[in-house]
Amino acid sequence: MRFCCNVSGAICPFNDFTCLIPAMRSQLPQSLNACWGKNCFSFMHHIQKYACAILFVLILAQLKRIYVLKCEHKDFLKIIVSDSLPFQEYMNQLGIGEDIDPNSTFQYEILSSQKSVKLAVNGQALYDDSKASGGRGLHLIVINPKSGQIKGSHIFDTFSSKGDSLLVEMLTNGLDGEHLLVFAVKDEASLKLSQKSRKLLTDIGSKHVYHLKWRSLWAMICWKGGADTIHLLNEHIQHTSNVSKWPEPVYLKVTVDPKMFDSSKPLCDWPPSEANSRRIEFCSKYFGYNDLCTCSVNNIMQGSQVDFSDNLVKNVHVVVIASNRPHYLYRMLKSLLGAHGVNTNVITVFIDGYFEETMDVVKLFGVHGIFHMPSGVGNARISQNYFSSFNVIFSLYPEAQHCIVLEEDLEVSPDFFRYFSQTISLLDTDESLYCISAWNDQGYAHSSEDTTLLYRVETMPGLGWMFKRDLFENELKDQWPGPDKQWDWDMWIRHPEVRKGRECVIPDVSRTFHFGETGLNMNSHFYQTYFSTRKLNNDATARLKNVNDMCKDKYERNMHRMMQNALVLDHSKSPCDEEFAPANASSHYVAYFGSHNSTNFINVVKCLRLWDLDARGLHKNAFRTFIRKTPVIFVGYPASPYSIYKPVDIKPLSFEQL
């Protein structure tokens, strides 16, 4: 049934606008207030401002019911609701499962085998890693002993030393509070399992882990009630006599009465405060957040109390793009709220899908959060979340003229907001710019030095950037790729037809750090190669110099002045040579490379140990960097207009020389 209605005095402005059916309307508060994280807003007041391609799930806490809002029209949003779903029914449709009765005893069944680790509680599967690839090593599953629900899990790939060091850190610092701990091996976990790890596991009850051998299968469940309260509930180990084969799987079963646990015992004796109340609630549900849930650590939620007088971005809205990586989001928000000049009232996290733990991280920090119903798959899904987030933020806040965009796997510098405050005027005064970014694509520990220095570049770096409402409303909005297009949104926005010859301003030393090792387009090897050695500014009071010199004409004049005065490097040497440039020089140096093909450029940046997968950080076929703390300009000859300064006797660097 569809009809046009009047809710809270807001008259439907479209002929075919569809409103809630009468049965639904009778259940709703008059203003239809939908709460996310910190604040509420009147949804019906803003409903006509929403644009298309937005699908939301609204969690109406006071009703414990789900309403799906779906856009079906190019120019406005229709509310399509044929019925409402009970909250738990919707969760079941998402595959989350029914609640376990907290008054019953809990029978835990654990499987450790070559191909899987599984956990069931009262016959209900709560954990199953049976993927053909991945999951090798020691699985830790942490359970709330009173509810029988999983608080968190982690896989330690102790086939490598890194996995063992992470296990040591977790066992040493990450297990405060009362937990049931389940350990189980998938495939192999002994190779790099250190004596220190084995001792720590023995300290929490294991009698067999010291005997873990190549391809042994092992499982253990124990109760940890405090620093000195440990009870081993069950444990078993199987060995193989043939190193090319695995033993029979290990199967454990144990029944636990939740009444044996003291529900009146406080999680931690933290000072009373609103922030610590949120912290206690969060840590009672989840695990693996290290210092957050460590009883000896106080004031971790305090955030930055430092503002600065000339904060021009205090009211600029910050969009945080998130998914189902709550630990990443925690690290990101912790750094963001620690930055000088932060304003929690303008931070909104957009979560792509319904992920309760991710939203609870949002609530923990007291910022706004919105669920986005996924549209598309793979890169298209990510692209649609960005599009919807921009659409919503500018619809909800019509006064907003700028927006800062971050992702859940970015750590920000303490001067993050000061950086944007010093550069925001450039977007308003220079039409040749279309973004300010906090990220330098070539900003590695060995290649960036000057926290006061800015560049202009022709690529949109992303990874912490600011843009204007006009760019989105007047250009990007109508052109944005639909959910059927498997395009990377950031690659699309860098396309010449979108960029239109405009540039972005970036810092020499980045104000964001990309720490995410996992993701749709990321793996550990790729991360270690291209992201792990990036430099992040740690000076909260850093001040940029000559910001107005980033305006187009001034920048060009300065580039030509630097080229005229730059010292030419010895082109008989290769940039691969350690002594290609002098160390610690204050004067600018210049090197010319052949621009006859892209391979030559890629090989130059490869020698310099910079980003070498495509052309980034260029301005008019030139790029600036530091070599051994000396500023160097690399100029593509003859494509760059700065080629006019090349001495006639200098032969440009070529691929053959490398």
Per residue, what are the HEC states of 170-227?
HHHHCCCCCEEEEEEEECCCCCCCCHHHHHHHHHCCCCCHHHCCCCCEEEEEEEECCC
Q: What is the pLDDT of residue 99?
A: 52
Residue 322's H or E segment, with its range, is strand 317-322
Q: What are residue 153's DSSP bridge partners? A: 141
Q: What is the pLDDT of residue 620?
A: 97
96 or 617: which carries more pLDDT confidence? Answer: 617
- pLDDT above 70 (res 199): yes
Which pair of tokens denotes residue 335?
Answer: 């750094």
Q: Which residue has the tokens 């970015």?
A: 410
Query: 241 lies in a domain?
Result: yes
Query: 149 lies in a domain?
Result: yes
| Model confidence pLDDT, tens digit, residues 476-490 | 999 999 998 888 898
Residues in the chain: 658
Query: 269 lies in a domain?
Result: no
Reduced to 3 states, what is the DSSP secondary structure of residue 465? strand
Which pair of tokens denotes residue 387?
Answer: 């599009």
From residue 13, alpha-carbon distances to 21, 93, 448 in Å are 18, 34, 54
Q: Which of 137, 139, 141, 117 is nearest to 128 (CA)?
A: 117
- 238 and 336 both lie in a single domain: no
185: domain range? 106-260
Q: Which of 548, 577, 610 is the last residue of a domain?
A: 548
- 402 and 544 both lie in a single domain: yes
- 167 and 34 both lie in a single domain: no
- 372 and 499 both lie in a single domain: yes
- pLDDT above 80 (res 469): yes
pLDDT-above-90 percentage for the chain: 64
Query: 296 lies in a domain?
Result: no
Query: 323 lies in a domain?
Result: yes
Reduced to 3 states, what is the DSSP secondary structure of residue 378? helix
Lowest mean pLDDT among 163-167, 257-261, 470-474: 257-261
Which pair of tokens denotes residue 449?
Answer: 């030095």
The dihedral through the CA atoms of 108, 280, 226, 196 has a sign that is positive
Other C-beta atoms lying within 10 Å of the C-beta of residue 388: 26
Mean of all residue pLDDT scores within the chain: 84
- 215 and 113 both lie in a single domain: yes
- 370 and 507 both lie in a single domain: yes
- 37 and 175 both lie in a single domain: no
| Model confidence pLDDT, tens digit, residues 203-236 | 999 999 999 999 999 999 999 876 667 889 999 9
Q: In whole angstroms, what is the distance from residue 148 CA to residue 150 CA?
A: 7
- 148 and 79 both lie in a single domain: no
From residue 310, alpha-carbon distances to 97, 256, 505 in Å are 51, 59, 20
Q: What is the pLDDT of residue 20?
A: 31
Q: Which of 34, 54, 52, 35 is nearest to 44 (CA)?
A: 34
Query: 276 lies in a domain?
Result: no
List all residues 6 or more positions away from 573 whose beta carbon is below 8 Å from its beta carbon: 579, 580
Query: 310 lies in a domain?
Result: no
- 602 and 652 both lie in a single domain: yes
The domain tally of the chain equals 4
Query: 339 lies in a domain?
Result: yes
Q: Which of 501, 517, 548 is the last residue of a domain?
A: 548
- 387 and 515 both lie in a single domain: yes
- pLDDT above 60 (res 5): no
Which pair of tokens denotes residue 318?
Answer: 């910050």
Lowest mean pLDDT among 168-182, 382-396, 458-472: 168-182
Q: Which of 31, 52, 83 is the last residue of a domain?
A: 83
- 62 and 127 both lie in a single domain: no
Q: Looking at beta carbons, which pairs linking 170-175 to residues 24 or more positions away fall under 8 Å?
A: 170/140, 170/288, 171/197, 171/200, 171/201, 171/204, 172/200, 173/290, 173/291, 173/294, 174/287, 174/288, 174/290, 174/293, 174/294, 175/204, 175/224
- 167 and 238 both lie in a single domain: yes
